[in-house]
Amino acid sequence: MRRAKITIVGAGNVGATTAHWCAADELGDIVLLDIPQTEGMPAGKALDLAEAAPIMGFDAKILGTTSYADTAGSDVVVITAGIPRKPGMSRDDLLSTNAKIVGSVAEQIKQSSPNAVVIVVSNPLDAMVQRALQVTGFPPNRVLGQAGVLDTARYRTFLAMELGVSVEDVSALLLGGHGDTMVPLPSCTSVGGIPVTQLIPAARLEEIVQRTRDGGAEIVGLLKTGSAYYAPAAATAQMVEAIVRDKKRLLPCAAYCDKEYGVGGYYVGVPVVLGTGGVERIIELKLEPTEQAAFQKSVDAVKGLVATMNKLVG
């Protein structure tokens, strides 16, 4: 049986670690691509990872390259390319720069892998996945963003820490945009089947929710230089697995919602069924009034971000 071909664009910490998780789980053959100016960097990382295979016991072809010709015919393309926000850089500067980078990558993908499912990881996430859709022109179900899996993992981690239980027993869900306006859903959160509201007082639960929203910033603050990459990469690999193995996983992803939730044609975090076709179904939940209000606030923030991006890139 032919193994899936997985291309990861951007060989920095998130991209290289995504390649690591995907290779270790034998999800397919991997192409790790970066810009020509990086010269041998992606090839060096790919070779280093390949040399780990005999030790860790996995089989995967791993290629590092700066040429999109090597990515042709990919089944899944992960976009991690982009720059982090630097001191003195405005939000619009970051938005404009990364929109151009993601747009350039999307144009190449459109030519080299016209049948691929595209997972966008670059920030600001909700705008970048919209940009990838605009440029590729792919069906919306084949372009999605990674955010909800990561945010949910952080939420579950903090809940498990609070209660002193295994993370495996914590089930949770979030909606909305990635970042300050994400909407954790207490009504869809349980621990061993017990509603979390019966285990944690409302005030303390809200503190945990806020820590989840600030999860990325907390790590940036601790690292001083750089940002999170183990968990973002693991979250991306879980999405890749759902697609290449047609797992039909129900996961929170940034998906294109038109009539769904009344969003009107934007990418927001919602629960989806993820399989070979990408987003195979969006699950619409009946939200409580406070959850609906928070979700609408998040959707409005995403719309504002996309409107600004469209003005900046023309």
**Which amino acid, residue 210?**
Q
Nearest to 260 by CA among 291, 288, 281: 281
Active-site residues: which are they? 178
Residue carrying structure tokens 């393309």: 77
Nearest to 5 by CA among 102, 108, 78, 103: 78
Residue partners of 173: CB distance under 8 A and separation at least 6: 152, 184, 185, 188, 189, 252, 271
Q: Provide the token pair at 102.
A: 């993601």
Nearest to 102 by CA among 237, 250, 267: 267
Per-position b or e across 248-270, b if 16+ CB within 10 A of its CB = ebebbbbbbbeebbebeebbbbb
In SS3 terms, 182-227 reads as CEECHHHCEECCEEHHHCCCHHHHHHHHHHHHCHHHHHHHHHCCCC
Within 10 A of 237 (CB to CB), how many other CB atoms are there?
Answer: 24
For the chain, report the end-to-end CA distance as a whole number of angstroms.
44
